[in-house]
Amino acid sequence: MCGICGIVDFASNGEDFSHKIDSMVDVLRHRGPDGRGMWRCPSAALGHARLSIIDLSEGKQPMSNEDGTVWITYNGEIYNFKQIRGELEAAGHVFRTKSDTEVIVHLYEQEGIDCVRRLRGIFAFGIWDSRCNSMYLVRDHLGVKPLYYTVHNGRLIFASEIKGILAHGGVPREVWPEALSDYLTFLYVPAPKTMFKNIYKLPAAHWLRFNAAGDKVSRYWDLPHKQAWRGTRQEAESRLVETLGECVGMQLVSDVPLGAFLSGGVDSSSVVAMMATAGQSPLITTSIGFNERKYSELQYARRVARQFRTVHHEQIIEPDAASVVEKLSWHYDEPFADYSSIPTFYVSQAARKHVTVVLSGDGGDENFGGYRRYWFDLAERRARRLIPRFMRRWVLEPIACIYPKADWLPKPLRAKSTLGNICVDAPEAYCRSVGVLRDAAKPAFFSSDITACLNDYRSADVIRSHMEAAPSGNDLDQLIYTDLKTFLVDDILAKVDRASMAVGLEVRVPLLDYTMVEFAWSVPSHWKIEGNSGKAIFKSAMSGMLDRDLLYRPKQGFTPPIKEWLRGPLRDMAGDMLLGSSPRYADYIRPAAVRWAWNAHQSALRNNEPLLWAVLMFEMWARRFLAP
């Protein structure tokens, strides 16, 4: 992968953008340590930091067409580029390199911006077309690769990471109140917002066109309207294995060493099984674990590694390793409170010692209904339909309010949580299930200024908009669609991209090839969750390759023991940042509310780890990125 950036200003009066592009590329060098490049014209400039994966010698960027009228800066991998290249050569196009970058340039010449619909891969790129004085920014179908932009004083500035935009200089660093509200609900900021007001994420499967008339964002792909499956269950399982095998096979193309993340879970184990079937040799796998056995999956990863005779590497994360969070606050650019970012960074670092590219199992839960919360959400929806509204409002809701909290139970099993979810609509229940701070509780937590700015803003409306847009009326389909548009792209994929790019590692995701996602979407929902078991059809399809006890063991998250660390080895560091004098968060969040949450957590009256971690990450971010 690479780091890309650029500037477009139609009123620049011949300003030389070189020094600004140099500064922007400098802060993106971790994404592309193998080389850097720049191109400029009177109205535009492009920058590039390169991580060499394919065509190591000739794929330098920015790159142009033959006559220099079209220029591209590109981050990603196109897996079907050889097929497209053959078609273009037959049409008369002449290539100077063997890179997938040049294929995009020529395909754009041939088909215009609609060419993106032909691409299978993970990508984010900017194309400057001097023939129409327009810049196009494009992001891949599922949002695997990031792309940020702002329009400041009529100037478009874009980059792979927000820090690239900030390196341009002159861009205001102002907290976006609605983004802060979303963050303390979801622990990430959903697109198109970022924590910086007026800096945006380009949403997945969208392009932006910028010219003298202004900017316009358009969607180029979405899941199709759900149709009834035409075939048997056995045919669906065979198609699943065939599609996954094809996606894995396409993603094994590399001119540098390639391996896989292996957690021992269903998804990563299935990817490794397919890599072995495809003849990948050597098959290098990497796993991490914790000394706390209930958090570690190493024993399962070892079994899969032995079964497929991989060259296996492991690393144990110690409590003091959590000091890496300050480093991660730099790489994430905005507050990010998914604490599985810690093991993700360490497994990336460990893998990078042996390979430059890895395949991961991300996407299996979203495609095939693997999260346990799906089952509970579906049960709550059934109860919501059966229980009359007046009874939910006047009987269950008062009971939920006075029912004691049971933080020691898993969230879905807490009666207070379940009763409360039944009393609200589906989007609000979703937020309560995955979120930390409810909209109703925010006035007591935020400063008066932030509360005034938020007015009637509700983070639940973010979820509502996606549920209402889902091209299916099925309950599970709505949940999956919402996760694909929010949690997957802005939490899971953002986490993996920043953690891996911090060490110059490319991560590929065969389960998120858009053809795989479209197939999974076509599978009937009742084949995904059977009883209380998620990913039912996926597990059944993989039963010929993986042991049954591995496939059907309880799902285990990829998370470190933050609850214990905040009461132990991280207590002093976190306490100093959260409870010290003049914390940076105090302009936005009430210190008294944070102190109450801290004391309740330390006394074990409440498990406030998600909320405390979120504020801690915000504090680290504010110290680093906001003006003093």
Place of tokens 């309880």: 554
Rounded CA-CA distance 252/270 in Å is: 15
DSSP, res 530: B
Cα distances (Å, whole numbers) of residue 445 to 59, 334, 437:
51, 20, 9
Q: What is residue 486's three-state secondary structure? A: coil
Cα distances (Å, whole numbers) of residue 197 to 139, 177, 189, 337:
21, 8, 12, 19
3-state helix, strand, coil in the chain (%, to 5): 50, 15, 35
Place of tokens 């983070």: 459
Residue closest to 496 by CA, chosen among 302, 332, 614:
332
Catalytic residue among 2, 115, 247, 431: 2
Rounded CA-CA distance 130/380 in Å is: 55
Bond prior to 192 in cis (omega within 30° of 0):
yes
Rounded CA-CA distance 127/324 in Å is: 36
Cα distances (Å, whole numbers) of residue 173 to 8, 139, 242:
20, 24, 48
What are the backbone angles phi and psi of residue 140, rounded to the nearest 5°?
-65, 170
Number of Cβ within a 10 Å radius of residue 10: 15
Please check whether residue 61 is in contact with residue 22, taking contact to mean a CB–CB distance below 8 angstroms. Answer: no
Rounded CA-CA distance 54/165 in Å is: 27
2 as an active site residue: the answer is yes
Whats the size of the chain, residue-wise? 628
User: In the numeric block, which tokens belong to residue 460?
Assistant: 């639940």
Rounded CA-CA distance 601/478 in Å is: 35
**Each residue of 280-289: b (16+ CB within 10 Å) or e?**
beebbbbbbb
- Which residues are designated catalytic? 2
